[in-house]
Every structure is written in C-alpha cells, then in structure tokens.
Amino acid sequence: MQKNKAALSGLYAITADNTDTAQLLADVEAALSGGARILQYRNKRVHGAAALEQAQQLQALCTRYAVPLIINDDVALALAVDAAGVHLGIDDGDIRAARQQLGADKIIGASCYNNLALATQAARLGADYVAFGACFPSATKPDAPRAEPQLFRQARDLGLPIVAIGGINLDNAASIITAGADAIAVIGALWQADDIQVRARAFTQLF
C-alpha cells in the first residue's frame, strides 16, 4: 500500500451517483484506461448491500489497473472490500479512529474546505492527503465555500499531497495545478463527457 500512497497525484476520479452498476463500471473503466490515478467511490443513491456490491466490483477493477480505491465517508465499507483507504469530511468521523481501524498502510484523506487550520490539524492526526474546495462554482455542492488559489501555496508546508475539488474542468484545471494542487478531483466534467476515456486522458496530460 505504500506504493499507493506515493501515487496521490494526477486525475482523482470521484464516481457519479449511479444506481446502474454495469454502467458505473463501464464508465470507471473508461476513466482508468484514460489515465485516472485515483478513484473514490461516492454514491449517495446506493446503500447497504447494493453499495457493497458496487464497491467490491470497483475494487476488483481498480486492482486490475493498479489504482487505489478510496471509499467516501465509510470506514466499514472500506474494510469490507479491502479498499486502499477512505476519505473523510468534517462530519464523517475522526481521522485517528479511522487509522486505528484501518491500520498504518491505508490511505486517509480529509476534506478541509477552505480552511488551512483544518488541514494542519488533519496532517497532525495522520491524514495522508488533504483536499481543498470548492475551487470553482460546483454543481455537486453549489453552496460549498470557495477555496482560493493562494490556499494551495500556503498548504505546501504541510508536506502532504493536496487535492483540489469543486467545479474543475478542462478550462480551469491548469490554473489550480499551477497554484499547487497535486491532484484534481473531478466528477461532472469527467462523467458527462461524450468520451470518458478521451476526457480522462486530457485531464491527465495537464500534469
């Protein structure tokens, strides 16, 4: 898993809310074949056994492509499918407790919104990466606070990979990478593309 921790850069694909597992897997495989380096399973429309089934199949797919699978907000699900790790929001659980459950080799990411102090605390508690956003107006979270470019420069001192999220598309991604983002988390601008593989490749070529 140390190899996965070293690969926290590039296109960070976050799944769409898709109840059609076959379509979800086809879309994800297109993104992985296009160069996505990290996948986060986040599906607010699927729960319980259906979520477990999707996560299991995504884990198998990610294993084939040697890409870490991160589970959003759910340590138990991450353990159940032996995912690479979890991503936690401010209300989704304690980093230290998650580390105790997952072990030292798993990845823990933390949403830090537009708050450098929160990122500093996450780093102190043992997060493996921090995420700032929304960087731009976001259809997924339209009320999210705005993370300005200087925040990414300030966060370099943390010594952790920094993920940018929120409203990122091909027109604005380069600016936030230049500001200091190691990875860009993308939802709509990836999955809504006519050709997901081509779109993923275009994002990947920005790095």
**Residues acting as catalytic residues:** 42, 111, 141
At residue 100's C-alpha, the angle toward residues 96 and 105, to 5°, is 100
For 37, other C-beta atoms within 10 Å of its C-beta total 22
Which residue matches tokens 């593989």?
197
- CA neighbor of 145 nearest in space, from 161, 132, 158: 132
AA letter at 25: L
- CA neighbor of 145 nearest in space, from 155, 157, 135, 158: 135
